[in-house]
Amino acid sequence: MSNINNKYNECYITYIIATYNCISEVDVLTNTVSTLSDLPIEFVVSDGGSSDGTLDALRNIPGLIIACSSRDKGIYDAWNRALPTAKGKYIGFIGVDDVPQREFIQEAITTLKSFPDISLLYGDVCLKRNNIYRKIFAPETSSLVTGARPRLDIPHQGMLHSCALFKGNQFNSEFKIAGDLHFLLKARQEGLILSFKKLNKIQAVVDEDGVSRSALAWHILLPEYKSIENELCLKLGYSHTKTKILSFFRYIPSVFMLVKKISWHIRGAKIKNNNKI
């Protein structure tokens, strides 16, 4: 990795990755760290005590920082463990096979240096499935920050958070899927989100078949949404009926996969040439 000794002195963005027994996906992270090594960013991993060779593979990635490797309570606990290690002024969270995009990073750094009070900076996201890519557009104005019935309508993978949001604050590790929504809504209620901005760039390429987009995920989200509403005394902008129906599909996975396939062909904009991402 080029200029590795100087890199951490000028680190502007930290990407945090939670890993656990994902040896087949580590090569994606290896390529990402190598490809983006000339930028003032760092990658910090919190491993959950992998036993399939993941940890050894991570140790062989030049410049990658391993914050810890021990049993954790899930992704939000893993992120919490990595936060004290982060040196960036802004922090993003990605999966091991998510790929932050160079153009977004470059424009983000320029923007954040000019407007250092921005709390959240985000762009669009590109979903991938079987070498087919679809661009999902994020809104210019997010209900997460300004809406009376907020929801996570901006992509969290690769979104940049000011490190000020994490001073004395952590993710609630009791959540399995909605911990990022809970964290951001608490920050909103406490007046910590000073401003936000969208860049017209793809912030990351992510896998369409992630855990958070499964039928089981919708089942988990039902009580987690209710927990957020009760704790923060608000109503979220989601359809309880829709969530319940999607949750029911865990009993008939073939139907759920058909619904996902149909959704895949109508969501966002298809990108024919991934070199344009």
Any idea what the CATH number is for the domain that residue 46 is in? Answer: 3.90.550.10
Q: What is the pLDDT of residue 240?
A: 73
Bridge partners of 46? Answer: 18, 68
| β-pairing verdict for 269-271 and 132-136 | antiparallel
Q: What is the pLDDT of residue 219?
A: 80
Domain-embedded: residue 160: yes
Q: What is the pLDDT of residue 210?
A: 60
Q: What is the pLDDT of residue 207?
A: 83
Question: Which residues of the chain fall below pLDDT 70?
Answer: 1-9, 209-216, 244-270, 272-277
Number of folded domains that form the chain: 1
Cα Rg of the chain (Å, integer)? 18
Per the listing, tokens 């490797």 go with: 69
Q: With beta carbons less than 8 A apart as the criterion, state whether 215 and 253 touch.
A: yes
Domain-embedded: residue 264: no
CA 56 to CA 65: how far, in whole Å?
13
Q: What is the pLDDT of residue 7?
A: 41
Tens digit of each residue's pLDDT (9 = 90 or more) over 205-249: 998 766 555 666 778 888 999 999 999 999 999 877 777 666 665
Q: What is the pLDDT of residue 131?
A: 76
Domain-embedded: residue 49: yes
Domain-embedded: residue 241: no
Q: What is the pLDDT of residue 6?
A: 43
Task: Say which DSSP state 68 is in.
Answer: E
CA 161 to CA 176: how far, in whole Å?
20
Tens digit of each residue's pLDDT (9 = 90 or more) over 155-183: 999 999 999 999 999 999 999 999 999 99
CA 62 to CA 2: how far, in whole Å?
10
Domain-embedded: residue 43: yes
Domain-embedded: residue 216: no
| β-pairing verdict for 90-94 and 13-19 | parallel
CA 151 to CA 166: how far, in whole Å?
21
Domain-embedded: residue 64: yes
Q: What is the pLDDT of residue 120?
A: 97
The structure's pTM equals 0.88
Residue 23: domain span = 4-208
CA 185 to CA 232: how far, in whole Å?
8
